[in-house]
Chain A
Amino acid sequence: GESVGLHLPTLSVQEGDNSIINCAYSNSASDYFIWYKQESGKGPQFIIDIRSNMDKRQGQRVTVLLNKTVKHLSLQIAATQPGDSAVYFCAEIWFRGNYGQNFVFGPGTRLSVLP
C-alpha cells in the first residue's frame, strides 16, 4: 500500500504487480513533464516524458498519464521488478524565453518492490 513517512511517501508493491506513482504539479503553463528514477547513490535518470498537449504516452513497461484539468501526472509501471525499486520524481518544465528551460521537481515517491 501507500503511506506517508517522515520524508518520502512510500509505495510497496509485490513483484509482478503493476505500480502507479502519482504527482501533482503546480504550473498550468508547463510545456512538458518528465519522470525520473533515482537509485541510491546516483543522480536521477530519465524514464519518459510527455508534452503538455498529450494525455498519454507509453514506453517500455511504463505509461505516463497527464490530466491537465486537475494538474496531475501519473507513472504506471507494468509487471514491477526488483530493479524498479528506487525513488521516482516528476518534473515540470517550462520555457524561459531565450534562456532554455526551467525544471522543477516534485518531492518524490519511494517504490519498494517486495519479493
Chain B
Amino acid sequence: EAGVAQSPRYKIIEKRQSVAFWCNPISGHATLYWYQQILGQGPKLLIQFQNNGVVDDSQLPKDRFSAERLKGVDSTLKIQPAKLEDSAVYLCASSLWVPGPLVRTGENSPLHFGNGTRLTVT
C-alpha cells in the first residue's frame, strides 16, 4: 500500500512569514494527525482529525497555526506568522479508526507516518 505522503520535504522561511504543509494519508484511514517534532524530542501532537472533524487541537497554538481536512482525505497545516521556535519537523500520520471495544480486544491500529517536512525559520 502507498504510505503517507507529505510535501514539501524541506522549507526555509524567515520569521513572520507564512508556510503551509500538505499531507495525503493512506487510503481508507479516517484518522489523521499532525505532530511537531523538535530536534532531540519525541513527536508532540498538534491536531487530530477524524474524517473532516477535529478531535483534539488542545496543543495547537491557534493564534498562529491552523489546519484543515475539508474533504476528509488530504490535510494542510499552516503557520502564520512563523516564529524561530517553530523550527521543527512536521509529521503527518494516519490510522484506521478503531472503535473502543475492538481496541480492548486487540484490534490495534498503529500510526503510519510520513517522512515529514523539515521547517527552518531564520
Chain A residues with CB under 8 Å of chain B are: 6-8, 31-32, 34, 41-46, 49, 51, 89, 91, 93, 95-108
Nearest CB of chain B from residue A103's CB, rounded to whole Å: 6
Residue of B nearest to A5 (CB): B40
7 contacts between A and B (CB under 8 A): A31-B104, A34-B111, A43-B115, A44-B113, A45-B113, A95-B100, A100-B31
Tell me if A96 and B40 are in contact (CB < 8 A). no
Tell me if A103 and B111 are in contact (CB < 8 A). yes
- Select which of B41, B45, B97, B115 is within 8 A of A7 by beta carbon: B41
Roughly how many angstroms separate A93 CA and B31 CA in the complex, as a whole number?
14
- Select which of A32, A42, A102 is within 8 A of B108 by beta carbon: A32
Is residue B98 within 8 Å, beta carbon to beta carbon, of the partner chain? yes
Is residue B43 within 8 Å, beta carbon to beta carbon, of the partner chain? yes
Tell me if A100 and B30 are in contact (CB < 8 A). yes
Roughly how many angstroms separate A93 CA and B103 CA in the complex, as a whole number?
10
Tell me if A97 and B100 are in contact (CB < 8 A). yes
Residues of B within 8 Å of A108, CB to CB, are 40-42
Chain B residues with CB under 8 Å of chain A are: 4, 30-31, 33, 35, 39-45, 48, 50, 55-56, 91, 93, 95, 97-100, 103-104, 106, 108-116
- Select which of B35, B40, B98 is within 8 A of A100 by beta carbon: B98
Roughly how many angstroms separate A51 CA and B108 CA in the complex, as a whole number?
9
Roughly how many angstroms separate A63 CA and B103 CA in the complex, as a whole number?
21
Roughly how many angstroms separate A8 CA and B91 CA in the complex, as a whole number?
19
3 residue pairs, one from A and one from B, having the closest CB atoms: A7-B40, A43-B113, A105-B42
Residues of B within 8 Å of A32, CB to CB, are 103, 108
Tell me if B100 and A105 are in contact (CB < 8 A). no
Nearest CB of chain A from residue B50's CB, rounded to whole Å: 5
Roughly how many angstroms separate A32 CA and B45 CA in the complex, as a whole number?
18
Residues of B within 8 Å of A34, CB to CB, are 110-111
Nearest CB of chain A from residue B108's CB, rounded to whole Å: 5
Residues of B within 8 Å of A89, CB to CB, are 42-43
Roughly how many angstroms separate A94 CA and B72 CA in the complex, as a whole number?
23
